[in-house]
Amino acid sequence: MAYKFKNWAGNVTGEAERYFQPTNENEIIELVKNAVAKDKNIKLVGAAHSWSALALPTHYLINLDKYSRVLNIDKEKKQVTVQAGIRLKTLNVILYENGLSLSNLGSVSEQSIAGATATGTHGTGIKFGNISTQIIGMKLILADGSVLTISEKENAELLPAVRINLGVLGIVSELTIQCVDVFNLRDASYALPFEETLEKIPELIQSTDHLKLWWFPHAPLIGVYRYFRTNEELQPRSAFQKFMDDSFLVNIFFVFLLRLGDWFPKTVPPINKLINKIHFKKVSRIEKTWEVFNVPMPPIHFETEYAIPVEHASEALKKLKEMIEHKKLRINFVVEVRFVKADNTWLSPAYKQDACYIGAYQYGNRYWKEYMTGFEELMYSFGGRPHWPKEFTPDSKKISNSFPEFEKFKQLKNKLDPKGVFNSALTQHLFA
């Protein structure tokens, strides 16, 4: 029976001929052989949290939720080997119990580890790379059913190629991740006026372990989220405060304001100013990593995100404000600004450059297309590279020009999967 596919945001829908949830590696290999024999295309899906159509299936759709165990924890080397379907939220807790931690996390931990790393999921902190940089080993099931092992000892030269793979090289079966000693996060956040924040960005980036900025357009303040790694005792929020932050304010009050702003766009600027007053308060707490890095699950919305060289961060935000004003857009969601250390992963938006990721988000589609077009133009003018799991215009020429190793990745893809068994329509177009 056909399987209906829908991603988290609901902007990508389709149908797979068949859906599988294998429980062991042999089953996965048999599925690949069977698909290839029948000339079927294979897509993997984790939590379907990508806005871009990377996981959109045509024939066979495979999900590894039942292939999601921790296989080994080496406490001495601080390394963990897992089956590819494990969700980050499960891994976080297991690592914590073993005195270890992922070095960084994004805004949620719902993702599968293979899905999160395939797209270069990142958190923030200029001294820390995206989550894919923590991969030191991978088992990849190829289109011919063979298993390619990549580690620091075997086929090590492929690590920079496979860490961000967009799901097109094969099926990631196992991953070995370099972890760090467990730590907590001290959250010392506050808000500053827009212009003052832009001036302080270079200093804030360097003096904060994990710096994130939230700006609601049309409003005067920027939320300056400053997280510091610490081994101090936990000083968590009260249960009431947690309920207010994670449930009431986001799921009820914010949703109400978003709908109001969507129906009556003139109310967006005053609403965003109100959010400044209510949401941007001085914070002091110490909590576990995922309780600070992760935010409450937001209402469904559109997202696009680009990485630009970090030195352009302030100028790009200034120009973004001008663009929104010039086009008379009414932007009801946050602009999110994060910082990621340079790496050597071929398809990484932070490839060989410390990066400032700017995310443009919106609830409702009234202004979305115009906002996204203006935003993408602006980001490209600063040397931007699209962040794969978010929405982006699939302009192959622009994209291949912005990733220096794009052609090299394409050659490897053609070598490992000459028939494009693991393509989605999107990647078929991008790598044509």
Residues engaged in binding ligand FAD (CB under 6 A): 8, 43-50, 54-55, 64, 84, 106-108, 111-112, 114-116, 118-119, 121-122, 166-167, 171-172, 298, 389
CB-nearer residue toward ligand FAD: 265 or 296: 296
Element (H, E) at 185: strand 184-187
CB-nearer residue toward ligand FAD: 50 or 402: 50
Rounded-to-integer distance, Cα 159 and Cα 157, Å: 6
Least distance (Å) between residue 327 CB and ligand FAD: 26
Dihedral sign, Cα of residue 163, residue 31, residue 54, residue 383: positive
CB-nearer residue toward ligand FAD: 169 or 218: 169
Pair of tokens at residue 421: 């068994």
Query: Nearest Cα to 346, choosing from 247, 412, 289, 300?
Result: 412
Least distance (Å) between residue 75 CB and ligand FAD: 26
Beta strands per DSSP E along 42-163: 42-45, 60-63, 70-74, 79-83, 100-101, 135-141, 147-151
Least distance (Å) between residue 204 CB and ligand FAD: 19
Least distance (Å) between residue 50 CB and ligand FAD: 3
CB-nearer residue toward ligand FAD: 218 or 402: 402
DSSP type of residue 19: E
Least distance (Å) between residue 76 CB and ligand FAD: 28
DSSP type of residue 125: B
Cβ atoms of 96 and 118 closer than 8 Å: no
CB-nearer residue toward ligand FAD: 280 or 293: 293
Query: Could you count the other beta carbons within 10 Å of the beta carbon of residue 142?
Result: 18
**C-alpha separations of 259 from 81, 86, 135, 323 in Å:** 44, 35, 41, 24
CB-nearer residue toward ligand FAD: 47 or 324: 47
- Phi (first) and psi of residue 210, to 5 degrees: -130, 100
Least distance (Å) between residue 186 CB and ligand FAD: 20
Least distance (Å) between residue 166 CB and ligand FAD: 5
CB-nearer residue toward ligand FAD: 218 or 302: 302
Tallying the residues shown for the chain, one arrives at 432
Element (H, E) at 228: strand 221-230
Least distance (Å) between residue 2 CB and ligand FAD: 18
**DSSP track, 345-369:** -TT-TTBTS-EEEEEEEESSSTTHH
Query: Nearest Cα to 111, choosing from 293, 371, 373, 356?
Result: 293
CB-nearer residue toward ligand FAD: 67 or 218: 67
